[in-house]
């Protein structure tokens, strides 16, 4: 592993110390992302945990705030959302997260799904753009979510949606399509070109590095992260190693490493720490070495990308440090 790095996409929602001890053992830092997820604690409670970690591990923990939809459908929604954003930023958040619940969970008065490019959100994005506040976004689901099980590309998706058919959009025809989700996200970026935006999870276009590249080329104020989508890069590398390597080198200044490990109390703390350690080393082997590797998500071997050291350092450390404002720990 490199001498220091940042896992720039995690959810530190408990005070268990084991993961933090592992962070220190590896000379790492964490970017924790507060998210309006129903099974997470309230946003304020998520924030309290991060503020405590920031005091205990100065310089190594940053976080993103978000806003809830408790006043959705009321005239107070926008003002309440902006007030929540201001509170989070006032407590040290480095930006704002928007999640996939927009496009899935909320409706307009006519009963249609509200999408991220809907004018109702414009005042929020105008506030972010005017005040140079960073936005990170997870829109839609992996494209596999809209495919039949037998056509899905990785077993992790196939197994999850087999066990949770209620979330399998191939079966839920009333929901917006994958293409509509991506088009709405792109429309939002066109409307607000001044916002620095990180398209999480390979811009929600994990299935195609060409599609990710198209967005990075078109929207100049954007970056992407690889959180919970490294297996999709590995799958593409199995069949087209050179293209994935070239992609990482070309966009070396705009790719950020992260795991998306969730510590919400449902998994023993020692297992969470072990999960971090396994992923950090496995992912490093993929990006930095030429080892022959296998992944649990699909069949077959693939070779590590063997990226130049400076590129690995950017992906694992420098890009997150500069984008999210970490000190040089």
Among 312, 192, 246, 272, which Cα is nearest to 10's? Answer: 272
Q: Which ranges in 26-70 belong to alpha helices (H)?
A: 43-56
pLDDT confidence band for 241 (50 / 70 / 90): very high
pLDDT exceeds cutoff 90 at 209 = yes
Mean local confidence (pLDDT), 82-94: 97
Backbone angles phi, psi at 270, to 5 degrees: -70, -30
pLDDT exceeds cutoff 90 at 38 = no
What tokens appear for 139 in the block? 């829109």
Q: CATH code for 5-324?
A: 3.20.20.140
pLDDT of residue 293: 98
Average pLDDT of the residues of the chain: 96
pLDDT of residue 41: 84
pLDDT of residue 23: 98
Query: CA–CA separation, 139 vs 100, rounded Å?
Result: 4
Burial class (CB in 10 A: 0-12, 13-18, 19+), 242: exposed
Q: Are 65 and 93 in contact (CB under 8 A)?
A: yes
pLDDT of residue 305: 98
Model pLDDT for residues 286-318, shown as the tens digit of each residue: 999 999 999 999 999 999 999 999 999 999 999
Query: CA–CA separation, 67 vs 198, rounded Å?
Result: 17
pLDDT exceeds cutoff 90 at 329 = no
Q: How far is CA 308 from the centre of its chain?
A: 24
pLDDT confidence band for 328 (50 / 70 / 90): confident
Query: CA–CA separation, 161 vs 4, rounded Å?
Result: 36
pLDDT confidence band for 48 (50 / 70 / 90): very high
Mean local confidence (pLDDT), 129-152: 96
pLDDT exceeds cutoff 90 at 13 = yes
Task: Tell me the whole-structure pTM to 2 decimals.
Answer: 0.96
Which residues, in sequence order, are CB contacts of 54 under 8 Å at separation 6+? 61, 62, 63, 92
pLDDT of residue 1: 85
């Amino acid at each position: 592993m490199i001498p220091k790095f940042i896992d720039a996409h995690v959810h530190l929602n408990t005070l268990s110390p084991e993961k933090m001890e592992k962070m220190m053992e590896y000379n790492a830092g964490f970017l924790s992302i507060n998210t309006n997820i129903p099974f997470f604690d309230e946003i304020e409670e998520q924030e309290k945990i991060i503020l405590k970690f920031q005091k205990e591990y100065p310089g190594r923990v940053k976080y993103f705030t978000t806003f809830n939809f408790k006043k959705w459908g009321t005239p107070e929604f926008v003002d309440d959302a902006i007030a929540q954003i201001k509170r989070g930023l006032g407590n040290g958040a480095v930006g704002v997260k928007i999640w996939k619940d927009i496009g899935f969970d909320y409706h307009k008065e006519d009963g249609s799904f509200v999408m991220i490019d809907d004018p109702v959100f414009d005042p929020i994005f105008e506030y972010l753009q005017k005040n140079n506040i960073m936005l990170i976004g997870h829109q839609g689901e992996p494209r596999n979510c809209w495919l039949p099980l037998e056509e899905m590309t990785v077993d992790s998706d196939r197994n999850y949606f087999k066990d949770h058919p209620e979330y399998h959009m191939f079966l839920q025809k009333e929901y917006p399509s994958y293409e509509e989700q991506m088009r709405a996200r792109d429309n939002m970026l066109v409307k607000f070109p001044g916002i620095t935006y990180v398209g999480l999870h390979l811009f929600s276009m994990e299935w195609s590095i060409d599609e990710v590249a198209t967005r990075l080329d078109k929207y100049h104020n954007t970056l992407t992260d690889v959180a919970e989508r490294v297996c999709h890069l590995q799958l593409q590398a199995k069949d087209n190693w050179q293209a994935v390597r070239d992609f990482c080198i070309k966009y070396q200044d705009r790719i950020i490493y992260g795991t998306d490990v969730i510590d919400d109390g449902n998994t023993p703390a020692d297992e969470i720490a072990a999960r971090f350690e396994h992923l950090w080393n496995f992912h490093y082997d993929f990006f930095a070495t030429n080892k022959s590797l296998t992944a649990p998500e699909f069949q077959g071997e693939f070779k590590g990308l063997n990226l130049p050291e400076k590129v690995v350092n950017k992906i694992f450390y420098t890009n997150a440090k500069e984008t999210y404002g970490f000190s040089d720990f």
